[in-house]
Structure 1
Amino acid sequence: MTITSSRPARPDSYVPSRRTVLRAAAWTAPAVSVAVAVPAYAACSPASAKPSSYALSWGSGVYTRSSAASGAAVVPGAAIGAQPVNVVVTSSVSSSRVVRTAQNLLGSAQGLELHHASPISAGREHRQTVTFNFSRQVSGLTFSIKDVDSSQGGWWDRVELSGARKFEVAPRGRRNTHVLGSGVQGAPWYYYDGNTVLPNSGDSRGTVTVTYTEAVSSISLVYWTSVGGSNQRIWLSNFSFTSSSC
């Protein structure tokens, strides 16, 4: 006689043991961790790092002045999803005879102000150096240096700028220009005569427009006077540049 069991080998109502469940969970846990980590890594992949344009407006909320010696900007990109470029501005002076006013590094609709208090001392040994550090390389950096002028017995602005760049200045006839020099140590930019006071930051005659021809991550501007006596100031216009979106 053949005896047939009434209990199937694996009934449909089979319930796995607690040990079986825990063992299966242990094998699947690493897959969950990998899936979470991938989006953070892919947020700035080489394929997504497309160029974006940026505009730093000194008079807007993107720039914050901390003191007469420092400030910082968080510049948003124009492209959708572009991450901002951070710009840190620092100022140093070469001697105790260079006194920065409370308006130094102040941002406004006129631009970023560089301002030395009266009585200023003549000579490059009494200078202010302003450095701009970008959180990643930027290309095509463009801005203007405004109100380069002079006053007899008061000041005669001298400006130098680091890096490979080209520049434009206003003509004054017969192939002459209002601003002379090339903006480097030994040949700074300066107004062609020693007694022309121009309207503050609003006259093209005292303006130097600069465009960088190579990518940069930092630039420095040196500001001083060849004539002492009064106070002196210039402005830098808004910065525009392109950079990778992340």
Structure 2
Amino acid sequence: MSTTVSSNMPSRRNVVRSAAWTVPVVAASTAVPAYAASCGSTTYPYTLTWRTVTYATTTTGSGSTLTKTGTATIPGPAGSSPVIATFTSTQVGIDSRTSGNLTVQANNYPNVGATGGTGLLLQHQGIVAGRNASRQVVRIQFDRPVTGLRFTITDIDANNAAGGNQSADFWDRVELTGNRTFTATPRGGGNVYVIGTGVAGSENNAGEGPWRMYNNSTVASDNGDSAGNIAVTYAGAVQDITLTYWNARGTGNQAIFLSGFTFDALGC
């Protein structure tokens, strides 16, 4: 389905599993951002392909205070300058992120969500269930506004293979800020695999709450399966969005991926 929302390793089965204001017209005409003043009005198409993009990570702190930042330098066509995208991961609570978190592992995950390419890995271990108990927050920023931003969050699923033993169980929850539309993979009968709206809150109905697999009594999908996909589009200009990822049940390792990005931007 398509819904509009406004809001501010091997296969996982083998793992121990952004104030309104008014100014005089004359003043406003001088308040032109540096990027606009220097870039003109020509926009260019950009594609972030995880397998080939120049991407590097840095870390500060340790343990639960560790901040990991990934920087992608996204090339554009002739006549344009690269767009710099940063992905900053922080942790709230006591889960730990794996060493592979916020990395690209093209050999292990060559076709995330059947998108045709690898993705950016977000992965937790030592899980404690519940949003308040622990969650990962990933802030995604671009060095200038982009329009028509599209990407897919893949592998949003659940695992209940362990039955009464929750050591391998999990149930993904994903939230995403901003004015966006999204599409989930259909499963027949007018239903979809991943339900919710990607906004924190009540989960009493399928059309509300974080994105999640419709049923937790399942075996985790393979990371190459499209069932756990949410395809996201930001039609308007965006420069800063935040993704929040957490677990609703069990203590098993969990992971999702961000596919490649496409968007338009000024070519400065």
TM-score range, shorter chain: 0.7 to 0.9
**Which blocks of at least 5 consecutive residues in structure 1 are unaligned?**
1-43
> 2:153·2:259 contact (CA, 8 Å) conserved in 1?
yes
Deviation (angstroms), 1:214: 1.7
For residue 132 of structure 1, report the CA deviation from its aligned partner: 0.8
CA–CA distance in structure 2, aligned partners of residues 93 and 59 of structure 1: 26
Provide the aligned length of Structure 1 versus Structure 2: 198
CA distance, structure 2, for counterparts of residue 242 and residue 108 of structure 1: 26
Match for 1:58: what amino acid? W
Cα displacement string for residues 96-121 of structure 1 (whole angstroms, at most 9, x for unaligned residues): x120100000013320000001x301
Cα offset, 1:170, TM superposition: 1.0
Q: 1:65: how far off?
A: 2.3
Q: Distance in 2 between matches of 1:150 and 1:115?
A: 14
Letter in 1 for 2:51: G
TM-score using structure 1 length: 0.77
Amino acid at match of 1:87: A
Decide which of 92, 96, 101 is 1:99's aligned counterpart.
Answer: 96
Q: Is 1:199 aligned to 2:222, yes or no?
A: yes
Provide closer, same or farther for how the CA distance between residues 50 and 231 of structure 1 changes in structure 2, counting only shifts above 3 A.
same
Per-residue deviation, 1:235: 0.6
* Shift in Å, 1:66: 2.4
Aligned counterpart for 2:181 among listed residues 166, 179, 195: 166
Paired with 1:108 and 1:141, the residues of 2 have a C-alpha distance of 23
SS at match of 1:204: coil
CA distance in 2, matches of 1:162, 1:63: 24
Find the counterpart in structure 1 of residue 123 from structure 2.
Answer: 115
Q: Quick check: 1:139 aligned with 2:162?
A: no
Distance in 1 (alpha carbons) for counterparts of 2:241 and 2:44: 20
Alignment of 1:206-221 (within 5 A): 206-221=228-243
Does the aligned pair in 1 maintain the 2:86–2:141 contact within 8 Å? yes
Q: Specify which of 199, 204, 227 is matched with residue 184 of structure 1.
A: 199
Residues 51 and 174 of structure 1, relative CA distance in 2, 3 Å threshold: same
Q: Is the 8 A contact 1:59 1:107 kept in 2?
A: yes
Residues 3-152 of structure 1 aligned to structure 2 (within 5 Å) = 45=38, 47=40, 49-67=41-59, 69-78=68-77, 80-95=78-93, 97-109=94-106, 110-117=118-125, 119-125=126-132, 126-152=134-160
CA contact (8 A) 1:57 1:63 kept: no
Q: Distance in 1 between matches of 2:38 and 2:54?
A: 26
CA distance in 1, matches of 2:152, 2:53: 20
- 1:196 Cα deviation after fit: 3.0
CA contact (8 A) 1:116 1:231 kept: yes
State the one-letter code of the partner of 1:102: S
Question: 1:200-226: CA deviations, max 9, x gaps?
Answer: 1x1111111001122111111000010
Aligned to 1:222: 244
Distance 2:105 2:232 in 1: 20
Give the partner amino acid of 1:147.
D
Aligned-partner residue type, residue 107 of structure 1: V
Larger Rg: 1
Work out the percentage of aligned pairs sharing the same amino acid: 42
Instruction: Please report the TM-score for the alignment, with normalisation by the length of structure 2.
Output: 0.71
**What per-residue deviation string (whole Å, max 9, x for no partner) do you get for residues 73-114 of structure 1?**
111112x2101111111011111x120100000013320000
Q: CA RMSD in A?
A: 1.5
